[in-house]
């Protein structure tokens, strides 16, 4: 019992000495500065956030502007509707399609040499220069002669004037030079037209 009481007294004495020790003053300045640094560090993310928001807003404006410009350019495109990468049946540039229609004599056998020659002559001239009103099916364009065969074909639909047919080697209709028509072009992967069909 005496030892326990003595121990309590000794511990109380050690406790008094213990509590007389204070924290070093040097740390006070360190912590003072740390609190100040925290204030500055708090500001940094806010500034960073503001810059991020500004950058995002700028990016959105740029994207929107690009979209508007793109839309306006699409509208200015010469009334072209394009169907890309549509595989189509390969069109043989055989002029007989046109001649068959124009002449309507393919089913009629030639009866004589003169008649045969006359028919061939007529067919040849028709094949070389198909007329616009015979183009309800695809007809090989004269300008595509000599082009290498295309591996992939696309159909491109566009509106054009009758007078525009000339540049493809086709006859311009006398009464339809100024007339607007809807045509479909068969275009190879090289971008060059191979055949044409008048839709309306």
Partner 1 sequence: MSMFKRQGRRRRDGELSDEELHRAALAGSGEAMAALYRRHGGLVYRFTLQMSRNEAIAEEITQEVFLALLTQIDRFDARRGALSTWLCGVARRQLWKYLARNDSAAMLDLDQEGAAEVQSPSDGPVELLLRHEAVAAVRAGMDELPPGLREVVILCALEEMSYEQAAQVLAVPVGTVRSRLHRAKARLAALLHEETASTERKRR
Applying CB under 8 A, the residues found at the interface with partner 1 are: 3-4, 6-7, 10-24, 26-28, 30-36, 38-40, 42
Q: Which is nearer to partner 1, 42 or 175 (CB)?
A: 42
Q: Which is nearer to partner 1, 22 or 175 (CB)?
A: 22
Locate tokens 């089913």: which residue?
107
CB of 50 to partner 1, least distance (A): 19
Q: Which is nearer to partner 1, 46 or 89 (CB)?
A: 46
Spell out a b/e string for 128-143, using b for 16 or more CB atoms within 10 Å of the CB, else e: eebbbebbeebbbbee
Q: Which is nearer to partner 1, 28 or 106 (CB)?
A: 28
CB of 45 to partner 1, least distance (A): 14
Q: Spell out the residues 6+ positions from residue 150 whose beta carbon is closer than 8 angstroms to its own.
A: 188, 189, 190, 194
CA gap 91, 151 in Å, rounded: 12
CB of 25 to partner 1, least distance (A): 9
CB of 43 to partner 1, least distance (A): 9
CB of 53 to partner 1, least distance (A): 24
Strands 139-140, 180-188: pairing kind = unpaired
Residue 181 in contact with residue 198, Cβ under 8 Å?
yes
Q: Which is nearer to partner 1, 40 or 89 (CB)?
A: 40
Helix boundaries (H) for the chain: 2-20, 26-76, 96-103, 113-128
CA gap 166, 41 in Å, rounded: 74
């Amino acid at each position: 019992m005496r030892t326990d009481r003595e121990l309590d007294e000794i511990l109380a004495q050690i406790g008094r000495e213990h509590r007389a020790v204070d924290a070093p003053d040097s740390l006070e300045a360190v912590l003072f500065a740390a609190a100040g640094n925290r204030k500055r560090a708090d500001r940094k993310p806010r500034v960073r956030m503001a810059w991020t928001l500004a950058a995002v807003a700028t990016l959105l404006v740029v994207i929107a502007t690009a979209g508007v410009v793109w839309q306006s350019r699409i509208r200015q495109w010469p009334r072209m509707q394009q169907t890309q990468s549509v595989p189509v049946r390969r069109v043989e540039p055989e002029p007989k399609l046109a001649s068959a229609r124009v002449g309507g004599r393919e089913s009629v056998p030639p009866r004589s040499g003169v008649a045969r020659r006359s028919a061939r002559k007529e067919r040849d001239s028709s094949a070389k220069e198909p007329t616009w009103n015979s183009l309800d099916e695809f007809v090989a364009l004269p300008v595509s002669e000599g082009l290498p065969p295309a591996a992939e074909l696309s159909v491109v639909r566009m509106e054009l004037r009758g007078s525009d047919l000339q540049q493809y080697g086709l006859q311009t209709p006398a009464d339809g030079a100024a007339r607007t028509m809807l045509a479909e072009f068969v275009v190879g992967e090289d971008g060059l037209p191979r055949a044409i069909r008048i839709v309306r």
